[in-house]
Amino acid sequence: MLTFRDATLTDVEAVVALIESAYRGEVSRAGWTTEADLLDGQRTDIDEISEIIGAINSRIRLAFQSEMLVGCVRIEEEDAAGYIGMVSVNPTMQSAGIGRQLLAEAERVIRDELQLMRARMTVIGQRGTLIAWYERRGYFLSGKRKPFPYGQPRSGLPKRADLYFEVLEKSLETLT
């Protein structure tokens, strides 16, 4: 069973390590959510995670199994919706239901604590398997796309020139 809490500044280094392990480098290949075939470089850094934790309208929710940090998710208020990002699960523990529980917790926070009835996220368009995973959880392609931030090393070093983000949304009004 997972327990959840919001990250504090004392968690920053552990959160960065978890996110990096889930998205980048060889260690990320132990799971199925790696971006290593699309991007090199970093996924985040200490400054970005500290900014998210310290901001008024955002947080990082942590998931623990026993005392071990196994997942995290960024939650932010954005244009009358709750933005979900940086969904990260320890690569060696992926496919064990942690991601589903983490996503459900993010949706609960958006609906119950932020009082917002819509969740939104962006996913790299070339990640069809991940988009399909979110669609099975009630998200739909909004028809909107956002450009990939080429030239911003904080976002990673692209291995291809055609990257973009799909915007996915989900109504939270009927969740219980």
Return the domain boundaries, the chain: 2-171
Q: Say what the pLDDT of residue 154 is.
A: 81
Q: What confidence tier does 125 reach under pLDDT thresholds 50, 70, 90?
A: very high
pTM, two decimal places: 0.94
What dihedral angle (degrees, nearest 10) is formed by the CA atoms of 16, 21, 22, 25? 120
Pick the CATH number of 2-171 from 3.40.50.140, 3.40.630.30, 3.90.650.10, 3.10.20.30: 3.40.630.30
The residue written with tokens 């280094």 in the block is 13
Give 34-58 pLDDT, tens digit per residue.
888 899 988 999 999 999 999 999 9
Give 77-123 pLDDT, tens digit per residue.
999 999 999 999 999 999 899 999 999 999 999 999 999 999 999 99
Q: Say what the pLDDT of residue 1 is.
A: 85
| Residue 163, CA atoms < 13 Å, CB-side half-sphere | 19
Chain mean position to CA 28: 14
Average pLDDT over the chain reads 94
Q: Is the dihedral of CA 20, 22, 27, 33 positive or negative?
A: negative
Q: Is the dihedral of CA 38, 42, 47, 50 positive or negative?
A: positive
Q: Say what the pLDDT of residue 25 is.
A: 77
The answer, yes or no, to whether residue 175 has pLDDT greater than 60, is no
Q: Is the dihedral of CA 36, 71, 18, 74 positive or negative?
A: positive
What dihedral angle (degrees, nearest 10) is formed by the CA atoms of 63, 64, 68, 70? -40
